[in-house]
Amino acid sequence: MEPNSSAPAPEESGASNTPAVKARDRRLGDEWADWDGRVGEQETNLDEDQRVFVGYAFLCLLAVIAGAALFIYMIYPRLEGWHHIIARSIIALLLLICAAMVLWFASISLPLLTGVRLPWRMEFVQKTLNLLVPLTVRLGGRFGISRDRMSNSFIKVSNALVRSARLNTGSGPLLILLPRCLTPDMRNKVQALGDRYGSLVYTVPGGELARKLIRDHHPSRIIAVACERDLVSGLQDVAPVVPTFAVPNCRPEGPCKNTLVDLKRIEEALIL
């Protein structure tokens, strides 16, 4: 596959800036199968603070700890009836687990606040962080934070961790992966950036081809451009293995059609 080999150019759009457009004028990705055709102004170019994800992740952590404490409280009399040593051992184990969770959360927050390097491997942090994503999305939804807004905030957290780790894991070049929905002009501009920095640029229609490219090239790092939904899914698969800097696209006409990307953010990722 040649660099920047892409899907056919997007069709000319007859959609205007109306509250709703027809989904039939584009090929929706799997993550957008439930899209109702509405283009929300606040959802087309998101810029959510990373503290949103961190805050809701902390609430999820507190909920897990509180749930564990309540469970122990309810069964403690029976444990005490068996033997007081068993009861106290379980409480001690619970306290150790809670302390480990707090330390883990602090290890994520520290790079965000200070920019210092992580003292342990990136893979561990990414894998454990990914476990919190579904919980924070569900909790945020109860407080009016959309899935895409929470995902945008999570992406900022993930990028900050990549920036603090400064890892290059593979022997190959830096790989830039683009979605098929980018405008042709935008793809050409990203290709020019990739050429300038000696990076490979590919347009990929789905995750299966992206994973094949990663296996073939063994990239040192990846810059992935897509919508928040696809990026979060990809980060959960790839980020624990290869340092991945995610750049959300802009969707002035809604998802999966004539999308744009901030070139400055790609260049910032290239010079990390």
Hey, what are 24's tokens? 């039939």
Q: pLDDT at position 211, please?
A: 86
Q: Is the pLDDT of residue 239 over 70?
A: yes
Q: Is the pLDDT of residue 23 over 60?
A: no
Mean pLDDT, all residues of the chain: 81
In a domain, 58, yes or no: no
In a domain, 18, yes or no: no
Which residues pair with residue 225 across a beta bridge? 247
Q: pLDDT at position 166, please?
A: 60
Query: For the residues 208-222, what does the mean pLDDT come to?
Result: 89
Rounded CA separation 269/225 (Å)? 11
Q: How confident is the model at residue 26 (pLDDT cuts 50, 70, 90)?
A: confident
Q: Is the pLDDT of residue 27 over 50?
A: yes
Q: pLDDT at position 10, please?
A: 38
Better-scored residue on pLDDT, 210 or 9: 210
Q: pLDDT at position 168, please?
A: 55
- Taking CA atoms, 38 is separated from 34, 43, 249, in Å, by 11, 10, 17
In a domain, 241, yes or no: yes
Rounded CA separation 151/26 (Å)? 23
Query: For the residues 249-267, what does the mean pLDDT come to?
Result: 92
Rounded CA separation 229/209 (Å)? 17
Print the domain residue range for 36.
26-44+168-270
If you write DSSP's letter for every residue of 169-189 in order, what string do you get?
-SSB--EEEEETTB-HHHHHH
Q: How confident is the model at residue 223 (pLDDT cuts 50, 70, 90)?
A: very high
What CATH code is carried by the domain that includes residue 265? Answer: 3.40.50
Q: Is the pLDDT of residue 20 over 70?
A: no
Q: Is the pLDDT of residue 121 over 70?
A: no
Domain count, the chain: 1
- Taking each helix axis from N to C end, the angle separating 184-196 and 263-270, rounded to the nearest 10 degrees, works out to 20
Q: pLDDT at position 228, please?
A: 92
Hey, what are 80's tokens? 């005490």
In a domain, 184, yes or no: yes
In a domain, 193, yes or no: yes
Q: Is the pLDDT of residue 248 over 90?
A: yes
Give the angle subtended at the CA of 2 by the CAs of 199 and 242, to the nearest 5°. Answer: 45
Q: pLDDT at position 3, please?
A: 54
DSSP element (H, E) containing 246: strand 244-248
Three-class DSSP category at 44 = coil
Q: Is the pLDDT of residue 13 over 90?
A: no
Better-scored residue on pLDDT, 89 or 22: 89
Q: pLDDT at position 151, please?
A: 94
In a domain, 150, yes or no: no
pLDDT digits (tens, 9 = 90+) for 38-75: 776 556 778 899 889 999 999 988 888 888 888 888 87
- The percent of residues above 70 in pLDDT, for the chain, comes to 82
In a domain, 113, yes or no: no
pLDDT digits (tens, 9 = 90+) for 163-206: 876 655 566 789 999 999 999 999 999 999 999 999 999 999 87
Q: pLDDT at position 7, please?
A: 40
pLDDT digits (tens, 9 = 90+) for 73-118: 887 777 777 777 877 888 888 888 888 888 878 877 777 777 666 6
In a domain, 96, yes or no: no
Identify which of 12, 92, 33, 70 has the alpha carbon closest to the alpha carbon of residue 230.
33
